[in-house]
Structure 1
Amino acid sequence: MKLSKKRVRHTKGMDITPMIDIVFLLLIFFITVSQVSETNREKLELPELKGAQDQKKTSLVVNINKAGEIIVAGNQLQLADVAFLVGKELETNGGDPGLVTVVVRIDHNATCQVPNALVKQLAGQGISKVRLAVQVPN
């Protein structure tokens, strides 16, 4: 007759599966956000300016290419559509135009007609913070 007892080990371990899931979700989130922020920037040849500052947080990025087409977030829009987008930004900021900042990126080969009309439209909506994007020379 065998009188040995089986020893059962009761150790409490930490389950790290939820933590790994959260890390992967955060990784996917940051990769997606970085790619979305790059879609707002069309490939344009910007004018160069020494001593320019890096771009700060903006509400809306408007691109104007060489042909004078207005492109926002990869979509070609008319001036009235941009006014509608700015109106939506104003609504989300409580109607305060001081909180809305628009960055206008203009190809250096473009004419001034479309940017001037855009700035007039923005001024008519009360937007005073309009920044013109430039490229810092190396």
Structure 2
Amino acid sequence: MRLSKKRVQHTKGMDITPMIDIVFLLLIFFITVSQVSETNREKLDLPELKGAEDQKKTSLVLNVRQNGQIVVAGNELEVADVAFLVGKELEANGGDPGLVTVVVRIDQRATCEVPNALVKQLASQGISKVRLAVQVPK
């Protein structure tokens, strides 16, 4: 005697596994990109000055520490090395210095010798878009 029949229910649905894979890949991508952008911005004590909080696209971010060391993407460089990096950026932009924008972030306790040397080097390479980063007071 059979008391119950086993019923197999076939539900029609969508397999969301590929969508979950894509979401995880996008998440990994954005985490990686945000970490790279934070690497370019060294922790410095910037001078406070009223200014704009714009985040325009920059080609190169140069950090000058209190002791005068130049740091680019976590690597300590000399002014001649910066000239080489700027030359590579110029080549990447077709040799047009108007397309290269450089942000110089200077610790407020640093002397002006290294930043002046950087700006002179950039000017000798034709870079006219040099921005100095400041801390906007709250």
TM-score (norm 2): 0.90
Cα distance between partner residues in 2 of 1:136 and 1:54 = 11
How many residues of Structure 1 are paired with residues of Structure 2 in the alignment? 135
Asked whether 1:83 is paired with 2:83, we answer yes
Asked if 2 retains the 8 angstrom alpha-carbon contact of 1:65 and 1:110, the reply is yes
Q: Which stretches of structure 1, 4 residues or more, deviate above 4 A after TM superposition? A: 6-12
Residue 3 (structure 2) aligns with: none
Secondary structure in 2 matching 1:87: helix
Deviation for aligned residue 1:78? 0.7
Cα distance between partner residues in 2 of 1:104 and 1:34 = 20
Give the unaligned 5+ runs of structure 1.
1-5
Greater alpha carbon shift after TM alignment, 42-51 vs 95-104: 42-51
Give the unaligned 5+ runs of structure 2.
1-5
Residue 135 (structure 1) aligns with: 135
Residue 21 (structure 2) aligns with: 21
Q: Deviations over 1:61-104 (max 9, x none)?
A: 00001100000001100111111111111111111111100000
Compute the RMSD of aligned alpha carbons: 1.8
Cα distance between partner residues in 2 of 1:80 and 1:128 = 18
Asked if 2 retains the 8 angstrom alpha-carbon contact of 1:69 and 1:77, the reply is yes
Residue 68 (structure 1) aligns with: 68
TM-score (norm 1): 0.90
Deviation for aligned residue 1:43? 1.1
Deviation for aligned residue 1:8? 7.1
